[in-house]
Structure 1
Amino acid sequence: MHENLGEQLTINDMARTAMFSKFHFSRVFQRVTGLSPGRFLSAVRIQEAKRLLVSTSLTVTDISHRVGYSSVGTFSSRFTSSVGLSPTKYRQFKSITPQAPANGDDPAYRRPVTTVRGDISSPLSDQPVFAGLFPDRILEGRPVRYVILRKPGPYVLEDVPQGEWHLMAQSVAPGREDAADHAPGGDEALCIGRHGPITVRPGTHTKVADLHLRPMRSLDPPVLLALRDLLSVDVPQLTH
């Protein structure tokens, strides 16, 4: 994937490379990475687009073609929903805070019913930690709830809506806030953790989910949401 981002790769192409049948390849890939091959490829493309926006003067149109999009409109829409800013604004600001949690008017997020709490440990023992609840097993788009810890330890996410959520967390080593944007895979400076799905049903009051962060590996889905401003917030704990 990393070597052919500009090509129109299909699952058949990837399965042939892996010497598996299409269906067996898809099952194995999802079991190993947590995402389907197509979803993982889309995430890798957006990650590379983030790198190109920061490190080159290529136009947004050129970058969209380099990472495999024939339509710059489709690319911009996908980039914005994953990262939280349009490509142009990301190039200008390079980081964002997550969007505000959805309100009660959004049918995707129903009435809050529970609290998710637990403990987060990390090899980066003195660095801030972002943790949030996401609909899928990838750190992109808008978390339904999130918390920023000054360092690893106990966390609490309150008023969690009904549904199935994946707890996602990351921490970045000092001076490496852009590690997620630039490394194609495998980085000791970026520690991540995933837990879930966490199922919240009517009448649920508390869910306990402990999480251990570990260095990011090449088979982990890329971190797409830009979090550098959040991870430098100098507060004991920030929750939304």
Structure 2
Amino acid sequence: MGSEGCAVAGIEKAVERSIEEMKRRLSESLSIDDMARVAMYSKFHFSREFHRITGISPRRFLSALRIQEAKRLLLTTSMTVTEISCTVGYSSVGTFSSRFASSVGLSPSVYRRVGGFVRRVDAAKKGETGGAVCGSVGAPVASYPGLIFLGLFPTRIPEGKPVSCAVLTCPGPFELRDVPVGTWYLLGHSVPAVAHEALTDSSQAVHVGSVGPLEIAPRAARVPVDFRLRGASPLDPPVLLALQRVRSAAFEEGLVPAVR
């Protein structure tokens, strides 16, 4: 590895250290200075490199980790919503519940009641339609990614309602139609069908991918993209929206055979 490659690897390791520190201190008021100190960079350099590597700011990543942990606690413990909100760093349960609902698509109590799964992921209300995003999904050689969720989101975090989405049973061609005018990120994650409903939250996706930003202009026709899935990394922002019960939906629609 050359000097440039070593420098890149060093920066990624520094960002990964800061993310591990975030995970250890979710209940605390963690500042950019604290994160930069762990990474051993100035806060300005740290913030710039963190955004370059992860696609979002350190504060936004920390907020996503808090919601991710709240999802896990709701499904695996008997803690109250108030207790969970304090555990993940919120002083106000109202603020926590509002933030959770906007990110996951369900309130904390409903998310717990449905076991972390929704029957379907509804797209957000569309504005002026610009066109379609199409292309092909590729996956690592000799791997079976399982059912693949694709969605268009306004940021690099898959949260809230996508403006358009689809579920694929295997890598291959896709098309997302009636995409609104604007700037979007195409994000995807996958979970093997045989294990899908045994998972406790969507952070356990085994493959992820992202393309963007994609500019959708008025009266655009088709925007072609090459979408590649890869193994999930600690540097990837968490998947926050509630995991769709895609395995059951696929069985009902006859897309995949039932596993006996």
Settle same-fold status: TM greater than 0.5: yes
Q: Say whether 1:116 aligns with 2:138.
A: no
2:54 counterpart letter in structure 1 = T
In terms of Rg, which structure is larger?
Answer: 2
Q: Say whether 1:26 aligns with 2:47.
A: yes
Q: CA deviation at 1:225?
A: 1.0
CA distance 1:122–1:22, shift in 2 (3 Å): same
Counterpart of 1:127 (choices 146, 159, 170) is 146
Question: Does structure 1 retain, via aligned residues, the 8 Å contact 2:120–2:245?
Answer: no
CA distance 1:55–1:125, shift in 2 (3 Å): same
Secondary structure of 1:65's counterpart equals helix
Q: Say whether 1:207 aligns with 2:228.
A: no
Aligned counterparts of 1:236 and 1:192: Cα–Cα separation in 2: 25
117-126 or 44-53: bigger deviation: 117-126
Question: Does structure 2 retain, via aligned residues, the 8 Å contact 1:113–1:205?
Answer: yes
CA distance 1:203–1:196, shift in 2 (3 Å): same
User: Which of the pair is proportionally richer in helix?
Assistant: 2
Aligned counterparts of 1:126 and 1:31: Cα–Cα separation in 2: 27
Unaligned runs of 5+ in 2: 1-21, 256-260
Deviations 1:88-140 (CA, angstroms, capped at 9, x unpaired) = 0111102125553333xxxxx42112111000122453621110100000111
Q: CA deviation at 1:18?
A: 1.4
Q: Say whether 1:15 aligns with 2:36.
A: yes
Q: CA deviation at 1:180?
A: 7.3
2:195 counterpart letter in structure 1 = G
Question: Does structure 2 retain, via aligned residues, the 8 Å contact 1:84–1:98?
Answer: no
Aligned counterparts of 2:111 and 2:177: Cα–Cα separation in 1: 30
CA distance 1:209–1:178, shift in 2 (3 Å): farther
Secondary structure of 2:206's counterpart equals strand
Deviations 1:164-186 (CA, angstroms, capped at 9, x unpaired) = 00001111023144657286xxx
89-98 or 204-213: bigger deviation: 89-98
Aligned counterparts of 2:106 and 2:113: Cα–Cα separation in 1: 10
Residue of structure 1 equivalent to 2:201: 181
* Count of residues in correspondence between the two structures: 228
Q: Say whether 1:36 aligns with 2:57.
A: yes
Question: Does structure 2 retain, via aligned residues, the 8 Å contact 1:48–1:182?
Answer: no
CA distance 1:199–1:45, shift in 2 (3 Å): same
CA distance 1:76–1:146, shift in 2 (3 Å): same
Aligned counterparts of 2:66 and 2:247: Cα–Cα separation in 1: 24
Residue of structure 2 equivalent to 1:106: none
Aligned counterparts of 1:34 and 1:230: Cα–Cα separation in 2: 27
CA distance 1:229–1:39, shift in 2 (3 Å): same
Aligned counterparts of 2:254 and 2:93: Cα–Cα separation in 1: 41
Counterpart of 2:123 (choices 101, 107, 110) is 101
Question: Does structure 1 retain, via aligned residues, the 8 Å contact 2:130–2:179?
Answer: yes
Q: What is the TM-score with the length of structure 1 in the denominator? A: 0.88
Secondary structure of 2:136's counterpart equals strand
CA distance 1:165–1:236, shift in 2 (3 Å): farther
1:26 counterpart letter in structure 2 = S
Secondary structure of 1:193's counterpart equals strand
Q: Which has the higher contact order (CA 8 A, sep 6+)?
A: 1
Counterpart of 2:79 (choices 46, 52, 58) is 58
Aligned counterparts of 1:206 and 1:179: Cα–Cα separation in 2: 35
Q: CA deviation at 1:207?
A: 0.2
Q: CA deviation at 1:230?
A: 2.6
1:156 counterpart letter in structure 2 = E
Secondary structure of 2:132's counterpart equals strand
Unaligned runs of 5+ in 1: 104-108
Secondary structure of 1:209's counterpart equals strand
Secondary structure of 1:125's counterpart equals coil
Residue of structure 2 equivalent to 1:224: 240
